Structure 1
Amino acid sequence: MSPAPAPELAGVRVTSPAPRDVWAKAFAADPHAVATQSPQWADTLAARRGRVDASRLYELPDGRSLVLPLSGRQWAGVRVAEESWPYGWVYGGALSTDGPVTEQDAAIVLADLARRPVARTSLVPMPMTGAAWTAAADGLGVPVQRTPYYSQSVELTGGFAEVSGKRYRRQAHRSLKKATAAGLDVREYVGAEAGPAVDVFADLYALSIDRWAQAMGRPLPVARLHARLQDRAGHLRSVVRSMGDMCRMWTAHRAGEPVSVLAVLDHGAHSFGWLAAMNAKLSNETAAGYLLESTAIEVACAAGREWFHMGESAPGSAIERFKNSFGAVPVHYEALAIERLPVSAADRTARRAAEAVMARLPKRGEDQAK
């Protein structure tokens, strides 16, 4: 017997996969949309992870539409999970064709996901919309697993002069002076032109793997195998090919030798500092990580962005202090999951391992790849 319709779904028409033209319209219209909610990001996820497009279009009685970017995970041809997005693929959540997603909109989406015939559905919202999703989950009427997240974002109102002059802290100013004195060569790349920057990332990230393995007491062969399976550089290469000018990269070199690299995802009001890697010794000497982060913030200000998101942090870590030095404010939100079977243990284990690494890493200006 089919479950009784949820009251939130009365009069709502659901289509899956969501038509790409409607998805693109919602992505362009929603003021809180970020690059990782784009159809291009979903295509990259499908190509890299073998996922299927499970996106959902909700046509509401008042004429508005919601689009939920969603990927399906299959096993032996059977759909077992639907995620927006899987752990490590940053922000998902719904988009609206008319203004930001409301608590009522979130309730519609969650009520629909609660009825899906899969072992697990999950959603990691964009942090600025997290409160609406948490409130909607409170009234859902079914158990919802909640994973607390803590990210940091820099408000860009007032332009770069105000951001750097009033929000940057002493540590950032000192480090930027050091970077200027080091005579670094900073290079910018956009979209498909970023191939050389991806090569720099691959080399610097490989250096980091060995260093982290030593710091965490992990066998080096195991750490290298995990890195090959994760293939961050391959993921980045796919993104710069598919996402066009939504992906921007910077590298810093000293005397021709690469020191640091940063990848940023841009859309609408939001920039997101996504991936970074560096040569620990040279970065310590030059503060190149600070310079690239500040350069990305300055470019975001010039483009009229409202927020520069610096990603998840471990409270009390050096990475958190690095972000604080740019005036980043804390944003607390929750990832949500509805499970019929206990299949999320692996995701929770992966997240705990990532948090342990983040807590022990030095600040990004010295040595970090997100």
Structure 2
Amino acid sequence: MNAPAELLIHTAAGPAHVTTPAPRDIWWDLVERDPDSHVTQTPTWLACLCASGPYGDASRLYTFGDGSRILLPLVRRLRHPPRLGAEESWPAGWGIGGPVAPGGIGPQQARVLFDDLADRPVLRVGVRFRPGDTGTWERAAPAGFRPEPHMTQVVDLDGGFDTVWRRRFHTRVRRDVRRAENSSLQVEVDRTGRLVPAFQYLYDQSIERWAGQQHEPLALARWRRRREFPGERLAVVAAQFGADCAIWMAWRSGEPVASIVVLRHGPHAKFWRAAMNRELAHPVRATPLLNRLAIEEACEKGCRFYDMGESTPDSSLAHFKAGFGAVAHSSPRYSRERLPVSAAERGLRRVVKRVIRFQDA
């Protein structure tokens, strides 16, 4: 980690001191005191990015005149000249970033962050904000920052597992879980990374299934999915999180059937990844059983939320998560680009999808 730089910035909303990269002890202190901080806002998550991708720490600690502090998790993309690079919180596929602030964020402070990011000498700056912060940032966003809608689905664990099971799980999900419990499935949970190869085996099978569902050439699907989630990434996350990374695995006659990965920090549990052999898993409803067990454990550990991640509205995945009582929350991304690179990329993807008759699952 580079020695932190101390900067005094002057913005239209006022001055602030910036320390970058942010000192880890202060970052952890702010995370621990902010009850709304997510798993993906921790220094551990930053370490996962930097260890498994071409990223460097660009986090920024803002200190204001009244002594209040705001921590912005941020990475810069390496291997590019700064003017052609990006600073993001976080890059696509890495989930929710955004500021950590135990005392909340006022409109003036929000504008200072936006003004500072607008001055960054890079091609693109982007921040994905967590649910609940939307109004503050929407009002503070200056011209030039484009909002991009995202939705994340979260199960409220208030009341404990009995309440979640009886009042939030859909009848269909409870029925599926009972079916799985009466099957010949064996379930284990690994917190050491030992089951990473088994998960990857199932994930490779899932890629083939997704390609068929989306009418996507298998070679393209493998390239795209492995670029989004390379094989070593789960091993890195398991090593960084240790016991707070749980790989739940369902077996049948010695064969891996389905698996989910759940991360935990403080009151937040995050359902991060899933994979399965559908021919073996679906008839016995293995995945609902794994989520039921993970949610029960999250309740036992005192978690308040089970974050099931992002979904496309009205998709089959969104309906699956809603069956566990997951409620959709807005979690927008705001970005500023000096050149319209993202628009060009989106246009190219639309053309390719039309050519191959791609169907969103």
**TM superposition score normalised by structure 2:** 0.89
The question of 1:89 aligning with 2:94 is answered yes
Q: 1:160 to 1:133 in 2, by over 3 A?
A: same
- Measured after TM superposition, the shift of residue 347 of structure 1 is 6.3
For residue 237 of structure 2, what is the amino acid of its counterpart?
V
Matches of residues 1-370 of structure 1 in structure 2 within 5 Å? 5-10=10-15, 12-78=16-82, 80-96=85-101, 98-137=102-141, 140=142, 142-190=143-191, 193-196=192-195, 198-345=196-343, 348=346, 359-360=360-361
Letter in 2 for 1:42: L
Give the superposition deviation at 1:132. 2.6
- Tell me, yes or no, if the aligned pair for 1:9 and 1:111 is still in contact at 8 Å: no
Q: What's the offset of the Cα at 1:287?
A: 0.4
Instruction: Give the Cα–Cα distance (whole angstroms) in 2 for the partners of residues 227 and 311 of structure 1.
Output: 17
AA aligned to 1:253 is W
**Superposition deviation, residue 248 in structure 1:** 1.7
Does the Cα contact within 8 Å between 2:19 and 2:61 map onto a contact in 1? yes
Deviations 1:221-275 (A, max 9, x none): 2322333433443111100001223322211111221111111121122111110
Instruction: Tell me how far apart the structure 2 counterparts of residues 288 and 102 of structure 1 sit (CA, whole Å).
Output: 45
Larger CA deviation: 272-281 vs 247-256 = 247-256
The answer to which of 238-247 and 85-94 deviates more is 238-247
Question: Structure 2 CA distance, aligned partners of 1:24 and 1:8?
Answer: 27
Once the two structures are superposed, what CA deviation does each residue of 1:179-219 show, in whole Å capped at 9, x if it has no partner? Answer: 111132111122xx1222x1121001111112222232322
Contact 1:263 1:276 in 2 (8 A): yes
Cα RMSD (Å): 2.3
Deviation at residue 153 of structure 1 after TM alignment:
0.9
> Shift in Å at residue 103 of structure 1?
4.5
C-alpha contact 2:46 2:73 (8 A) present in aligned 1: yes
Distance 1:100 1:240, change over 3 A: farther
Conservation of the 8 A alpha-carbon contact between 1:87 and 1:347: no
- SS of residue matched to 1:91: coil
AA paired with 2:95?
V
Taking the aligned partners of 1:342 and 1:201, their CA distance within structure 2 comes to 38
Aligned residue type for 1:69: P
Distance of 1:358 and 1:294 partners within structure 2: 29
Distance 1:244 1:128 in 2: 29
Q: How far off is 1:53 after superposition?
A: 0.9
Relative distance call for 1:296 and 1:231 in structure 2 (3 A) is same
* Structure 1: runs of 5 or more not aligned: 361-370
Residues 255 and 99 of structure 1, relative CA distance in 2, 3 Å threshold: farther
1:344 counterpart SS class:
helix
For structure 2, the 5+ residue unaligned runs are: 1-8
CA distance in 1, matches of 2:345, 2:31: 27
Deviating 4+ runs (over 6 angstroms) = 349-354
State the distance in 2 between where 1:256 and 1:90 align. 33
> What SS does structure 2 have at the residue aligned with 1:249?
strand
Distance, in Å, in 2 between the alignment partners of 1:76 and 1:183 is: 52
The structural deviation recorded for 1:75 is 4.5
Count how many residue pairs are aligned between Structure 1 and Structure 2: 348
| Secondary structure in 1 matching 2:211 | helix
Asked if 2 retains the 8 angstrom alpha-carbon contact of 1:201 and 1:233, the reply is: no
How many Å apart are 1:163 and its aligned residue? 0.7
Could you tell me which amino acid in structure 1 is paired with residue 193 of structure 2?
A
Instruction: Classify 1:105/1:188 alpha carbon distance in 2 versus 1 (closer, same or farther; 3 Å).
Output: farther
Alignment partner of 1:290: what SS?
helix
Q: Counterparts of 2:67 and 2:359 in 1: how far apart (Å)?
A: 44
Q: 1:129 to 1:244 in 2, by over 3 A?
A: farther
CA distance, structure 1, for counterparts of residue 240 and residue 118 of structure 2 = 32
Compute the displacement of 1:49 (Å).
1.6
